[in-house]
Structure 1
Amino acid sequence: MDELYSIGDVARRTGLSVSAIRFYADEGIVTPTSLTESGFRQYDVHAIARLELVRTLRDLGAGLEEIRKVLAAETSLQELAVTHLRLVEDQLRQFRARRAVLRTMVRQPTTAEQVSLMHKLVSMSDDDRDRLINQFWDFVTDGLDIDPSYPERLRNQRPQLPEEPSTEQLEAWIELANLVRDEDFRTTLRDHFHRVFSTEQGKLMATPEMMAHAERQRRLFLEARAAQQAGLAADSPQARELAERVAASSADMVAAMTGKRDIDKARRAIVEHDPDRAAQWKAKATGLKLLTKYVLLVATINGTPKPQFDQAAATREWLAAALR
């Protein structure tokens, strides 16, 4: 015969209180195995195991009726787990959204209207987010007299929140959504594009041919950055060969614009690059700074590598040293 345990022993074994064990018995969830002549409840190991399962399911958020069905084999543990996993994941998404709003409120002065807006932004559907970004780029690129493929490239740089975004991604989305709704941000960026592409040279830069040249130049620059960060000496033959390829690509790009290819001029442009002057120019280029901010926020939201704009100067100096 199985050993029987008093309700006090069962409480110590299961971690449940005596009152909780009595409650489950009165509700017909786990009834005592037997009663003594004095009316004391006793439980065998099978009943104790059922009570331990009850405690676990309660900790996971299951209701009494759900537990009753599991114990009666009307519902499987897997079916119960699927239902509660879905609920827990929904709650986690809500908590992440709330945390993102609260952390934003802690960092900066926030009005009641802004709190309401932030909560609305983190609760947006994918379609709503797409609509907001499309409206932004419609405004920014309206009236640009350039190849239509370039505005399309801009539109493709869009935020895609993952199904389970981190707090950092939600905070970045709140910041980006506020930016693209901001009239000054939208207008300054639109003015930047209209100014850049108002000349024939600017229009040429937006053509698919020139964008392909720019992409090749970007990939070569990333290759140079990787070599520099890996510790390749600037005075090595490998560094010189890579720097020559960067110069040749730059010369090809200029040739596509002017019809004249001058490799020596391309080399000099790399060797004589003035980082201080470039930094001063970028500091004045408000539109470029805003576009950079947009790109960095999108990278954070999408969980993709961020462009390392701050490391470009070191790579340019490495290329210049390789050509010297």
Structure 2
Amino acid sequence: MNDDELHPIGHAARRSGLSVSAVRFYADAGIIEPTALSSAGHRMYDVHAIARLELVRTLRELDTDLDEIRRLLDGDTTLHDLLVTHLEIVERQERALRARRAVLRTLVKQGGTTARTDLMHKLVSMTDEEREQAVDDFWNDVGEGLDVPEGFVDRLRAQRPILSADPTAAQLEAWIELADLVASPTFRAEVRAYLRDTYSAPEARTLATEPFQEFMHVTGAPLMEELLAAHRSGESPGSPWAQRAVTRFLEAATALSATPLTPEVRNRMADGYRQVPDILRRIAEEDATSETPVYDDTHGRYATLVALINGTDQAHDPIPYTWIADAMSTDAPPRSQEVS
């Protein structure tokens, strides 16, 4: 197409992807005027005008209004600035649509009523400050007068949802469920009862103390991960790698109670790990028939939803308790023996 060649309105419309009536409209609105008029008074367009018509069509498809397009073509704004503005608008619309989808999916699952719809909308529209307050109110209520070691509830409180500025639909759905739960007096009472029943007993209080919790979640976690890495690499429990890792873990664990790491202590801890699978099975069976609050329905549900909201919900391989017990034992299998 020659830059100086003039084309009738029908050709300009076809080239730009617009209808003839749309080209006329943009000319009458002073957006893209014809380059010239033919001797018969017909509107004629050169290649530059047709290119501008193509741009107008694209911008209109992006819901850009005519005043913005006019400012762009008049040189009052740049294409880059216009596109940045519209990208922000589209992203806001996308977030709003995700929020609506989360509300609708939740309502479909739960059965929607007018009051329920209102509540779901309020939950996804909460500010960061309102979300923080909702979680604080929950833990204040759960922890009030709870007979557990000092600082335990504060450590649980530190695990809190942080909804990103651009959450996925799944994260929004998890937040809706969590916000609904933490506001529920029934859920609060069940979490409180679970924590009381689990950690108030004298034999379990040690598990809730700050040194033990710090070991489980901070200092001991990388030590256990090193041990699990040896297992994932196919090392036998008696290999040098596994033995270095398990010894570091046991030394840190026994230091909590200032207990020397003797062969008897190693074997006692090994026996404890061997019993874990049977204990977990028994707990699962009891939970299935229990009428009292259990972990998966109380604090466990809270933790799961927080992980979903924060994007930290990762699948974990089953813990190889028997392999760990063999590594702890003073009779650990030799390096050449494969233990699964």
TM-score range for the pair, normalised by the shorter chain length: 0.7 to 0.9
CA offset at residue 273 of structure 1? Answer: 2.0
Q: How does 1:218-233 map to 2 (within 5 A)?
A: 218-233=221-236
Candidates 162, 170, 182, aligned match of 1:180: 182
Instruction: Say if 2:269 is the partner of 1:266.
Output: yes
CA offset at residue 74 of structure 1? Answer: 1.6
Q: Could you state the TM-score of these two structures normalised by the residue count of structure 1?
A: 0.87
Aligned to 1:82: 84
Instruction: Say if 2:242 is the partner of 1:239.
Output: yes
Q: Is the 8 A contact 2:4 2:47 kept in 1?
A: yes
Q: Is the 8 A contact 2:146 2:192 kept in 1?
A: no
Instruction: Say if 2:135 is the partner of 1:133.
Output: yes
CA distance in 2, matches of 1:233, 1:203: 35
Amino acid at match of 1:288: Y
Candidates 301, 309, 312, aligned match of 1:304: 312
List per-residue Cα deviations over 1:111-161 (Å, max 9, x = no partner): 332222112111111111111111111111111244543222111100001
> CA 1:269/1:249 → structure 2, altered by over 3 Å: closer, same or farther?
farther
Q: Is the 8 A contact 1:7 1:43 kept in 2?
A: yes
Q: Is the 8 A contact 2:106 2:173 kept in 1?
A: yes
Partner of 2:320, secondary structure, is: helix
Aligned to 2:34: 32
Partner of 1:262, secondary structure, is: helix
CA distance in 2, matches of 1:236, 1:3: 83
Amino acid at match of 2:51: A
Q: Is the 8 A contact 2:198 2:204 kept in 1?
A: yes
CA distance in 2, matches of 1:283, 1:269: 20
Candidates 53, 56, 59, aligned match of 2:55: 53
List per-residue Cα deviations over 1:262-293 (Å, max 9, x = no partner): 333112222x3241332222454544222222
Q: How does 1:1-12 map to 2 (within 5 A)?
A: 2-12=4-14
Instruction: Say if 2:291 is the partner of 1:288.
Output: no
Aligned to 1:95: 97
Q: Could you state the TM-score of these two structures normalised by the residue count of structure 2?
A: 0.83
CA distance in 2, matches of 1:209, 1:243: 20
Size of the aligned set, in residue pairs, is 316
CA distance in 1, matches of 2:325, 2:138: 39
Q: Is the 8 A contact 1:248 1:263 kept in 2?
A: no
> CA 1:34/1:81 → structure 2, altered by over 3 Å: closer, same or farther?
same
Q: Is the 8 A contact 2:270 2:326 kept in 1?
A: no
Partner of 1:28, secondary structure, is: coil
Looking at secondary structure, tell me which structure has more helix per residue.
Answer: 1
Amino acid at match of 1:265: R
Q: Structure 1, unaligned stretches of length 5 or more?
A: none
List per-residue Cα deviations over 1:80-121 (Å, max 9, x = no partner): 223322221221110010111122233343333222211211
Q: Structure 2, unaligned stretches of length 5 or more?
A: 288-292, 333-340
